[in-house]
């Protein structure tokens, strides 16, 4: 019904960014990049600045130093709505109004594309339904959020982000509060959708094993600095993780994928 | 505007499938149509009821003659006076104040993400009352270029009250909606005490102080209705215009921003429009509570949380409720009258307790 969005991924470049709250500097000289069509994972212990990074990229928190470039253009030069048409965020622990239906939530993703007095057109509804379908959530279209399970709500947030037709997708711990298999299923789904559209994606993940399975590259943050950056098996070295996380860590190999599996023992 | 009977169960939902399978957006036609019918019935009832009996035919003829100039039959001049100069402006004023209070209640609830926010409960009405009273008892009470300073002063009082209540409730860090209401109660108490003090200092008739604090439509005139319309109608239009963005604000600030909404700007616009409308309502009718609580909650149960369906229904429902409440206020204890605020408090107090009792299981 709706042609796949002509979404071509957008390069994200973070150059020596420092940012913080009050006197506390949370990010120090952080540099990283996500190329179009690439899925990059950001990992690191609690308080290492992972979520702050997303807030800086989306202009919610101004950088104290350095700059963020989207498609070569500094992020401050984008308007709030303009930015939301290019960058979609799946926030951490986002709450949704319980009375909304699945389709109404997905339609919220059309907000940056609508003018003040405009209401959603058939095309917007079709885009929202397509986004739901792509997240295996079409059956939730008429269901109310209050009746949904955690995994279903999370897929709804991803559908809302896809309905924005972004070129860069930022995900902040999208698997928090999900059980084991739902975590992997959600990650697989998001990565597949990004690959289909050639989206650039930055994935903040707590779970190192999941990050290793699904991301092209990983960026390890520790105390606000980039500790390592590169392919998952290059970044996930036991000694480095032990140092960054402050505890013993073993890295095994997944029997099927050959990717690293991280065990905190 | 009319829904085919077989579509009726689906019209409450914004979205449904037509027989071709195409998705169409559809407003909540049936609930709104029922509400409009109720409003018409309430208006008719209020125009007919009163201590002096005017036959329905005469009421109709008088309205027809006044509105269109077509004269059918004759009626005593006294009947014309009662229907056109007393009852009609009173019904219109009650309807507009009801629509204003209910719609601003829904807007405050949306913008604060707080189901208990309401002009009366968060101190806005009291702030507006104080602002209006200060002008009324001062030498400034005259008009400026034909416009009274009462409503602008009421608006300043309303904004001051809402800002204090919001600041204090943020400082308390109470996550439930209780913080704003608790702060609002304190603001309202201070505002009302000052208002009473000023009025008693300048007015030896305590009855009129009491009437103001309890709200009412005893002194309704066409010019008062016009004054309210001048302020309230543009504000209500602005609120309805922002209905879709109010839906986005039901998420949290962070999500709304990620969806491209200037959260602070939208919140300020809605807050100013709602406070100005509420202040105008207070300056023509005094303090009338709970309309902004009862109507949005019932409407939300019927059409859900989408403000695009909610606000029109709340507007019509608020007008209906206050016209009926005023009807009760002037007929229940005839030949005397009671302030309409007493009637709405009788309805709203238990309703408020019910909402508190249900606790956080308030659905949006």
DSSP states of B121-174: TTTHHHHHHHHHHHHHHSGGGSEETTEESHHHHHHHHHHHHHHHHHHHHHHHT-
Domain that holds residue A186: 12-96+167-263
Q: Quickly list DSSP for A153-171.
A: HHHHHHHHHHHT--SEEEE
CATH number of the domain bearing residue A186: 3.40.50.300
Q: State the smallest CA–CA distance between residue B158 and chain A in angstroms.
A: 27
Pick the closest to residue B195 from B154, B155, B231, B141 (CA basis).
Answer: B154
- B212 domain-assigned: yes
**Residues in A touching B250 (Cβ below 8 Å):** 97, 100
B contact set with A (CB within 8 A): 13-15, 22-25, 241-242, 244-245, 247-248, 250-252, 254-255, 257-262, 300, 304-306, 308, 363-364
DSSP code of A119?
Answer: -
The first and second tokens of residue B223, run together, are 């010019």
Residues A116, B241: C-beta atoms closer than 8 Å: yes
- A144 domain-assigned: no
**Residues in B touching A111 (Cβ below 8 Å):** 244-245, 248, 259-261
Q: pLDDT above 90 covers what percent of chain A?
A: 73
Give kind and range of the element (H or E) at residue A228.
strand A225-230
Out of B13, B257, B306, name the one closest to residue A60 (CB). B257
- Sorted by sequence, the CB contacts under 8 Å of residue A239 that are 6+ apart come out as none
- Sorted by sequence, the CB contacts under 8 Å of residue A255 that are 6+ apart come out as none
Residues A99, B300: C-beta atoms closer than 8 Å: yes
The answer to whether the CB of A40 falls within 8 A of the CB of A32 is: yes
Cα–Cα distance for residue pair A200/A210, rounded to 1 Å: 18
In this predicted structure, the answer to whether residue B312 has a pLDDT above a threshold of 90 is: yes
Cα–Cα distance for residue pair B182/A5, rounded to 1 Å: 49
**Per-residue confidence band for B14, with pLDDT thresholds at 50, 70 and 90:** very low
Cα–Cα distance for residue pair B127/B129, rounded to 1 Å: 5
What CA dihedral angle connects A189, A194, A196 and A199, to 10 degrees? 170
Q: State the smallest CA–CA distance between residue B326 and chain A in angstroms.
A: 33
**Dihedral (CA of A231, A232, A233, A239) sign:** positive
CB atoms within 10 A of CB B68: 8
pLDDT tens sequence across B59-110: 999 999 999 888 888 888 889 999 999 999 999 999 999 999 999 999 999 9
**Residues in A touching B251 (Cβ below 8 Å):** 94-97, 108
ipTM: 0.91
Cα–Cα distance for residue pair B83/B144, rounded to 1 Å: 32
The answer to whether the CB of B286 falls within 8 A of the CB of B341 is: yes
- A116 domain-assigned: no
In this predicted structure, the answer to whether residue B9 has a pLDDT above a threshold of 80 is: no
The answer to whether the CB of B93 falls within 8 A of the CB of B217 is: yes
The first and second tokens of residue A204, run together, are 């903040």
pLDDT tens sequence across A149-190: 988 999 999 999 999 999 999 999 988 878 888 889 889 998
Cα–Cα distances (Å) from B246 to A99, A160, B217, B310, in that order, read 14, 17, 32, 11
Predicted local distance difference test score (pLDDT) of residue B362: 53
Q: What is the 3-state secondary structure (H, E, C) of B107-128?
A: HHHHHHCCCCCCCCCCCHHHHH
In this predicted structure, the answer to whether residue B6 has a pLDDT above a threshold of 50 is: no
Pick the closest to residue A201 from A186, A181, A180 (CA basis).
Answer: A186
The first and second tokens of residue B311, run together, are 């606000």
- A143 domain-assigned: no
- B58 domain-assigned: yes
- What average pLDDT does this structure show over A9-28? 92
**Residues in B touching A95 (Cβ below 8 Å):** 251-252
Pick the closest to residue B300 from A141, A147, A99, A106 (CA basis).
Answer: A99
Q: Provide the domain count of chain B.
A: 1
Q: Is B52 exposed, middle or buried (0-12, 13-18, 19+ CB in 10 A)?
A: exposed
Mean pLDDT, rounded, of chain B: 84
**Residues in A touching B305 (Cβ below 8 Å):** 97, 99-100
Q: State the smallest CA–CA distance between residue B207 and chain A in angstroms.
A: 45
Q: pLDDT above 70 covers what percent of chain A?
A: 97
Residues A125, B305: C-beta atoms closer than 8 Å: no
pLDDT tens sequence across B220-279: 889 889 989 999 999 999 999 999 999 999 998 899 999 999 998 999 999 999 999 999
A contact set with B (CB within 8 A): 58, 60, 80-85, 88-89, 91, 94-101, 103-104, 108-109, 111-112, 114, 116-117, 119-120, 122, 125-126, 129, 142, 146, 164
- A21 domain-assigned: yes
Domain that holds residue B87: 25-358
DSSP code of B84?
Answer: I
Q: Is B146 left (phi over 0), alpha (psi -120 to 50) or beta?
A: left
In this predicted structure, the answer to whether residue B286 has a pLDDT above a threshold of 60 is: yes
H helix intervals, B203-262: 206-214, 222-241, 243-249, 253-258
In this predicted structure, the answer to whether residue B148 has a pLDDT above a threshold of 80 is: no
Predicted local distance difference test score (pLDDT) of residue A181: 86
Centroid of chain to Cα B355: 19
Predicted local distance difference test score (pLDDT) of residue A106: 96
pLDDT tens sequence across B331-342: 998 788 888 999
Test mutation, B259, B297, B358, chain A, max A CBs within 10 A: B259
**Residues in B touching A89 (Cβ below 8 Å):** 258
Is residue B218 classed as helix, strand or coil in its secondary structure? Answer: coil
Cα–Cα distance for residue pair A48/A123, rounded to 1 Å: 42
Cα–Cα distance for residue pair A221/A242, rounded to 1 Å: 13
Interhelix angle B150-172/B178-202, nearest 10 degrees: 140
Out of B255, B300, B305, name the one closest to residue A94 (CB). B255
Predicted local distance difference test score (pLDDT) of residue B142: 61
Q: Provide the domain count of chain A.
A: 1
pLDDT tens sequence across B165-184: 888 887 776 655 677 888 88
DSSP code of B12?
Answer: T
Cα–Cα distance for residue pair A17/B72, rounded to 1 Å: 81
Q: pLDDT above 90 covers what percent of chain B?
A: 49
**Per-residue confidence band for B134, with pLDDT thresholds at 50, 70 and 90:** confident
DSSP code of A16?
Answer: E
The first and second tokens of residue A99, run together, are 């009375």
- What average pLDDT does this structure show over B315-323? 97
Out of A58, A97, A142, name the one closest to residue B258 (CB). A58
CATH number of the domain bearing residue B265: 1.10.3470.10
Question: In the A/B pair of chains, how many CB contacts fall below 8 A?
Answer: 86
Strand partners for A148: none
Residues B15, A83: C-beta atoms closer than 8 Å: no
Q: State the smallest CA–CA distance between residue B257 and chain A in angstroms.
A: 7
Pick the closest to residue A174 from A206, A142, A209, A127 (CA basis).
Answer: A206
- A77 domain-assigned: yes
DSSP code of A144?
Answer: B
- B15 domain-assigned: no
């Amino acid at each position: 019904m709706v042609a796949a969005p002509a979404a071509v991924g957008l390069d994200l470049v973070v150059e020596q960014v420092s940012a913080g709250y009050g006197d506390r500097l949370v990010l120090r000289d952080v540099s990283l990049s996500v190329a179009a069509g690439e899925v990059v994972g950001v990992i690191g212990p609690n308080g290492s600045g992972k979520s702050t990074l997303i807030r800086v990229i989306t202009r919610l928190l101004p950088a104290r130093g350095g700059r963020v470039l989207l498609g070569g253009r500094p992020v401050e030069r984008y308007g709030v709505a303009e930015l939301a048409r290019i960058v979609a965020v799946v926030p951490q622990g986002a709450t949704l109004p319980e009375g909304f239906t699945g389709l109404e939530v997905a339609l919220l993703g059309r907000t940056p594309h609508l003018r003040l007095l405009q209401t959603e057109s058939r095309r917007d509804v079709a885009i929202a339904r397509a986004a739901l379908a792509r997240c295996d959530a079409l059956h939730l279209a008429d269901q109310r959020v209050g009746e949904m399970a955690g995994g279903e709500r999370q897929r709804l947030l991803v559908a809302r982000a896809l309905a924005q037709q972004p070129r860069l997708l930022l995900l902040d711990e999208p698997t928090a509060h999900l059980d084991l298999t739902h975590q992997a299923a959600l990650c697989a789904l998001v990565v597949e959708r990004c690959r289909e559209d050639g989206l650039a994606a930055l994935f903040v993940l707590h779970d190192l094993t999941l990050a290793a399975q699904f991301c092209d590259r990983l960026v390890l943050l520790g105390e606000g600095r980039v500790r390592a950056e590169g392919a998952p098996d290059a970044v996930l070295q036991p000694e480095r993780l032990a140092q960054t996380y402050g505890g013993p860590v073993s890295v095994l190999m997944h029997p099927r994928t050959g990717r690293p599996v991280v065990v905190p023992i | 505007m009319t829904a085919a009977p077989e579509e009726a169960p689906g019209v409450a939902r914004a979205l449904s499938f037509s027989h071709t399978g195409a998705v169409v957006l559809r407003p909540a036609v049936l609930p709104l149509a029922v509400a409009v019918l109720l409003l018409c019935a309430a208006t008719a009832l209020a125009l007919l009821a009163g201590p002096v009996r005017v036959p329905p035919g005469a009421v109709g003829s008088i309205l027809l003659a006044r509105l269109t100039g077509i004269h059918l039959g004759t009626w005593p001049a006294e009947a014309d006076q009662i229907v056109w100069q007393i009852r009609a402006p009173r019904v219109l004023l009650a309807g507009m104040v009801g629509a204003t209070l209910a719609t601003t209640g829904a807007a405050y609830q949306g913008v604060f993400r707080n189901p208990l926010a309401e002009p009366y409960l968060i101190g806005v009405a009291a702030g507006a009352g104080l602002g209006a009273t200060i002008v009324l008892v001062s030498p400034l009470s005259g008009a400026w270029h034909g416009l009274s300073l009462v409503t602008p002063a009421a608006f300043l009082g309303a904004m001051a009250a809402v800002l204090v209540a919001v600041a204090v409730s943020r400082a308390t860090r109470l996550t439930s909606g209780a913080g704003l209401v608790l702060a609002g109660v304190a603001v309202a108490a201070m505002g009302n005490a000052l208002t009473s003090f000023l009025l008693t200092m300048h007015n030896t008739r305590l009855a009129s102080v009491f009437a103001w604090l309890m709200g009412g439509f005893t002194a309704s005139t066409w010019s008062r209705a016009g004054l309210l319309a001048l302020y309230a109608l543009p504000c209500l239009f602005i609120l309805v215009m922002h209905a879709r963005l109010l839906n986005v604000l039901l998420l949290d600030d962070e999500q709304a921003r990620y969806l491209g909404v200037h959260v602070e700007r939208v919140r300020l616009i809605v807050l100013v429009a709602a406070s100005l409308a509420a202040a105008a309502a207070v300056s023509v009718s005094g303090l009338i509570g709970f309309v902004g609580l009862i109507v949005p909650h019932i409407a939300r149960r019927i059409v859900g949380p989408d403000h695009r369906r909610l606000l029109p229904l709340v507007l019509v429902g608020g007008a209906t409720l206050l016209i009926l409440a005023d009807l009760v206020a002037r007929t229940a204890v005839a030949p005397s009258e009671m302030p309409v605020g007493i009637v709405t408090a009788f309805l709203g107090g238990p309703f408020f307790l019910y909402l508190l009792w249900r606790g956080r299981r308030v659905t949006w």
